Amino acid sequence: MLDGKVKASEFPLLYHITPEEGLLNDPNGLVKFQGSYHVFYQLNPFGTVHKNKCWGHVVSEDMIHWKRLPIALAPSEYYDKDGVYSGSGIVKDGKLYLFYTGNVIVNEEERKSYQCAAVSSDGITFEKLGPVIEHPIGYTRHVRDPKVWQEEDGSYWMILGAQTEELTGDTLLYRSEDLLNWESCGSLLQDKPELGYMWECPDLLKFNESDCFLFSPQGLPAEEKRFLNTNQTGYLVGKFSQTDHFVSVSRFQELDHGFEFYAPQTFRDGERTLLYGWAAAMPASNEQCLPTIKEGWVHALTIPREVALIEDQLIQKPAVELKQLRVNEEQSTFSLDMAKEYRKTMAHAYAELVVTFSQHTKDFVINISDAFYLKHRYKEQEIIIERKNWETGQMEQRFGFYQGTLTDLTIYLDGSMIEIFINGGRLVFTSRYFVYGSQRELIITGELGAAEGIIYPLALQ
């Protein structure tokens, strides 16, 4: 939703960031600059395929009402002529610096990656400063996605997603005093887990006691209930220090269990850490069958989420700003008793559903028309989501487990997007689902004990 207009579409999204035309992928350069939130994103403005990558740009005071700005960075120089790939933003001396990867096709066999910088005083027009890092020895051309942050002592640090010449995923660490001269510090991880052949979009999230290394590995073999998308996103919990780099103390955990989630990025906003992800179509082969393709646009970012680390788990909650969307006067509340069915026809496709469960909750199903099902299996402490695949028409499933008891669930519905937050954001699912027309039927069946629910219609106000 931008400039007060919902995009004319059969599947309009009201409060998610979408491209005006073309293909959107990773969130880039997330930053608060001169009092406004800036969200950049990978954009092919010329078509719905992965080519001509630029940085699309939107700006907002509240992360709800967005204004579209001109494309911030587009291919133009020898070092980025075939794509301005993903990266991050940071403010220094009142200027906004962007770091990105320039993609260059030398010939059929040879491609190159350059890690580049750009700078702006107004946050709207950017001057390219060119490459700032030499290509590391021992790595293939798959080195990209610079994420930059500042440490308390004033030094700047950068991590890059990388592939070693042995074709394993890795993350490289660099240090700088001025954002322009960078020295190599080797690998981010001392003990690198064997996870796929390439790690994309690395990010380091710093919390009080522990830190979190978030990344998107490619090439993890699918398991029965995990790693079922084309590529995965997950994290390791540990501690970053300038001397030891990142020492991890946990195993790799998936961040989002839905069908559509990849390449997230975080940024600091005062005391909180916010995250946007790319609601990517997975499996990627489905992408060109997405119903919006015929309207000339494809994909969206997730809603902004506040992330926190509780013990060894990264939890995600919808940013509080989203509460502004609630049309409070029209909310409907309901109680769900054992073995009763609750049905509600929602007049439009934008709603927030909040349910709190009692200790008597057992198995139940929530379905949105006949296109999306959420199933709770209490003995297994499992949530299964099921939707109709838009390519094959077959139902398909994704899985997630919680610990303890089921306490609460929040569902954000926005046109063809659904985001589900369970148990205070400990278990999260992002997915697209397609229902024609603006009505949605919400049906809840099963044994819910004495659960209480609220449905808020959502609108831009």
Give the burial string for 95-119 (b: 16+ CB within 10 Å, else e): ebbbbbbbbbeeeeeeeebbbbbbe
For ligand FRU, the closer CB: 25 or 430: 25
Q: Residue 413 Cβ, how far from ligand FRU at the closest point, in Å?
A: 25
Report if residue 42 touches ligand FRU, rule: CB under 6 A.
yes
Smallest gap from Cβ 224 to ligand FRU, in A, equals 26
Closest to 368 measured CA to CA, from 319, 304, 320, 415: 415
- Name the residue nearer to ligand FRU (CB basis): 84 or 96: 84
Q: Among residues 86, 232, 292, 431, which is the contact residue for ligand FRU, using CB under 6 A?
A: 86
Which residues lie below 8 Å from residue 148, measured CB to CB, with a gap of 6+?
A: 88, 89, 90, 97, 99, 156, 157, 158, 179
Site residues (CB under 6 A) for ligand FRU, limited to 204-223: none
Q: Which of 406, 396, 400 is nearest to 384 (CA)?
A: 400
Residues in the chain: 461
Cβ atoms 278, 270 nearer than 8 A: no
Interior angle at CA 328, CA 362 and CA 277, nearest 5: 65
Among 101, 187, 229, 286, binds ligand FRU (CB under 6 A): 101
The encoded tokens of residue 84 equal 């301005």
Residue 80 binds to ligand FRU (criterion: CB under 6 A)? no
What character string, x for contact with ligand FRU (CB under 6 A) and - otherwise, covers 152-191?
----------------------------------------
CB of 84 to ligand FRU, least distance (A): 9
Phi and psi torsions of 328, nearest 5°: -60, -35
Give me the residues paired with residue 341 across strands.
445
287 binds ligand FRU (CB under 6 A): no
* Nearest to ligand FRU of 75, 424 (CB atom): 75
The CA distance from 326 to 323, in Å, is 6
Query: From the CB of 296, what's the least distance to ligand FRU, in Å?
Result: 19
Q: How far is the CB of 276 from ligand FRU (least distance, A)?
A: 13
C-beta neighbour count of 449 within 10 angstroms: 14
CB nearer ligand FRU, residue 145 or residue 352: 145
Largest CA distance in the chain: 66
Query: Is 41 an interacting residue with respect to ligand FRU (CB under 6 A)?
Result: no
Binding status of residue 26 toward ligand FRU by CB under 6 A: yes
User: Per rule CB under 6 A, is residue 25 in the interface with ligand FRU?
Assistant: yes
Minimum distance of ligand FRU from residue 216's CB (angstroms): 7
Which C-beta is closer to ligand FRU: that of 200 or that of 211? 200
- In the bound complex, what is the minimum distance in angstroms from residue 49's beta carbon to ligand FRU? 11
**263 lies in the binding site for ligand FRU (CB under 6 A):** yes
Minimum CB distance to ligand FRU, residue 449 (Å): 42
Number of residues that bind ligand FRU (CB under 6 A): 13
Q: Is 53 in the site for ligand FRU (CB under 6 A)?
A: yes
Question: Applying CB under 6 A, which of residues 58, 118, 159, 200 lies at the interface with ligand FRU?
Answer: 200
Quick check: 393 and 377 in contact, CB under 8 A? no
Which DSSP string corresponds to 164-189? Answer: ETTS-EEEEEEEESSSSSEEEEEESB
Output the DSSP codes for 333-352: EEEE-TTEEEEEEESSSEEE
Active-site positions read 26
What DSSP line would sit under 436-455, residue for residue?
SSS-EEEEEEE--TTEEEEE
Query: Applying CB under 6 A, does 435 fall inside the site for ligand FRU?
Result: no
144 near ligand FRU (CB under 6 A): yes
Which is closer to ligand FRU, CB of 262 or CB of 342?
Answer: 262
Q: Strands 297-298, 22-33: parallel, antiparallel or unpaired by DSSP?
A: parallel
352 touching ligand FRU, by CB under 6 A: no
Nearer to ligand FRU, 276 or 373 (CB): 276
For 83-168, strand residue ranges (E) read 84-92, 95-105, 111-120, 127-133, 139-150, 156-164
Q: Which is nearer to ligand FRU, 41 or 421 (CB)?
A: 41
Chain contacts with ligand FRU (rule: CB under 6 A) = 25-26, 42, 53, 85-86, 101, 144-145, 200-201, 262-263
